[in-house]
Chains A and B, each alone.
Chain A
């Protein structure tokens, strides 16, 4: 095994172009589990730990451009906590402090697990993923980047460079349920983003489909039920009805963690709570 530790992005991209089968190492919280178990034996590893350009974030007008190497701890403890509160809440649910200090949002996107905690938030924000290779840059909607469970449309030689989302203009919620309070994969999750400037609420579900799930008809219905002068839903039953609509949108499966029926029930509860927290 060869381990490369470049400090500059162009060096990293050149190394990747030389051999596109190179294994990318960001935080390592997924890859190293497999390496330790002997399940993964990469020949060539490109560590991005020292590429500062990937670990920073910046504000670009009304957008945030968050470098792929940004850790969950940074999402949770830096000014991003106020600028992207949904991501901060999602980051708080990931693993443990140890995992949060190492794992990255770019890794969450690149791994594309159906249960990835930042993914429903990013989906509800209509996030755009910036990809980079030795031959250039491109930007793609997250919806088009995540194509299936642990499947992305990343091309050989490409890295996830950053993710672009709007700065929060209203409340954002991320709720997750699992078998414990920490160090646990989501059995079901729900992200809700309220955008008062566009008078629009968006919602994405995690762990109940191959990729995050949105239901634009239900979103439009909920948006119409909000009194935007005060940012609250017009009646007490809206939250519960929203929960039920989102539960029908879920494409949950039975697996060793939970049966589909439980996941649908959990979605109904999480979506209802999200509305209660953000819009009542």
Chain B
């Protein structure tokens, strides 16, 4: 079949070698060199393949790649500050909080959670506990028991409320 194009992390990408039945997840991982989204259940149940499609959180495994033509996709690789490669080690505040709070064990669910958490906090800066749980209901973790993932989110919510100046000290702590 003829190829298609879609915008991924702000860059227009051409896909010519995909087979028509490939999911967006497969296209991202195997055709576009973006293995951040993970293929665990491929049924839309675990959320490890979560990406943003035209601004909405979806499971990439349930999207037919060719049907995502001309759409805008954001993957976990696209969340880090602009002008950085993942290898530079620059992390978003959510990623850093997940690491520091102990919300990452095997790491397989982590990219999906990171995308879902970014989307949650973009829509609601101070979500109530039930809102957090409902927003993450589509992301499963078999390692952490979720407690430290929730802790990580709380850290981010607090840190985003009080932005630190460049010297890392909050204004309240001037001595």
Contact = CB atoms under 8 A, between A and B. Distances in A.
B135 interface: yes
Contacts of B61: 32, 36
Interface in B12-69: 19-21, 23, 42-45, 47, 50, 53, 56-59, 61-64, 66-67, 69
Interface in A1-46: 1-3, 5, 25, 27-29, 32-33, 35-37, 41, 45
B137 interface: yes
A49 B71 CA distance: 10
B137 A28 contact: no
A153 interface: no
A98 B64 CA distance: 15
Contacts of B127: none
Given A33-B44, A95-B44, A183-B138, A3 B20 contact: yes
Nearest to A92: B134
By secondary structure, the A interface counts as loop
A167 interface: no
A96 B63 contact: no
A98 B42 contact: no
Interface centre among A28, A37, A50, A95 (most CB of B within 10 A): A28
A45 B61 CA distance: 17
B137 A25 contact: no
B137 A32 contact: no
Interface centre among A41, A50, A99 (most CB of B within 10 A): A99
A55 to B, nearest CB: 12
Interface residues of A, number: 29
A122 B55 CA distance: 29
Interface in A168-206: 181-183
Given A1-B1, A5-B67, A183-B137, A99 B56 contact: no
Contacts of B1: 1-3
Interface in A84-104: 95-99, 101-102
A219 B58 CA distance: 39
B116 interface: yes
A267 B70 CA distance: 46
Contacts, number: 98
Given A3-B20, A97-B137, A73 B66 contact: no
A3 B62 contact: no
Contact of B135 (A5, A29, A97): A97
Contacts of B56: 73, 101-102
B138 A96 contact: yes
Nearest to B65: A3
A1 B67 CA distance: 12
Contacts of A73: 56
B44 A32 contact: yes
Contact of A97 (B42, B57, B70): B57
Contacts of B69: 5
A41 B22 CA distance: 11
B66 A5 contact: yes
Contact of B44 (A2, A5, A49, A99): A99
A47 interface: yes
Given A28-B64, A181-B137, A99 B59 contact: yes
B62 A28 contact: yes
B26 to A, nearest CB: 9
A95 B43 CA distance: 11
Given A36-B61, A98-B138, A182-B134, 8 more contacts: A25-B67, A28-B63, A32-B44, A32-B61, A95-B44, A96-B44, A97-B119, A98-B59
Interface of B: 1, 19-21, 23, 42-45, 47, 50, 53, 56-59, 61-64, 66-67, 69-70, 116, 119, 134-135, 137-139
For the complex of A and B, list the 5 residue pairs with the smallest distance between their C-beta atoms, beginning with the closest: A96-B138, A1-B20, A182-B137, A47-B67, A3-B66
25 contacts: A3-B20, A3-B64, A3-B67, A25-B67, A28-B64, A29-B44, A32-B61, A33-B42, A35-B64, A36-B23, A36-B43, A36-B62, A37-B43, A73-B56, A95-B138, A97-B119, A98-B47, A98-B57, A98-B116, A98-B138, A99-B44, A182-B134, A182-B137, A182-B138, A183-B45
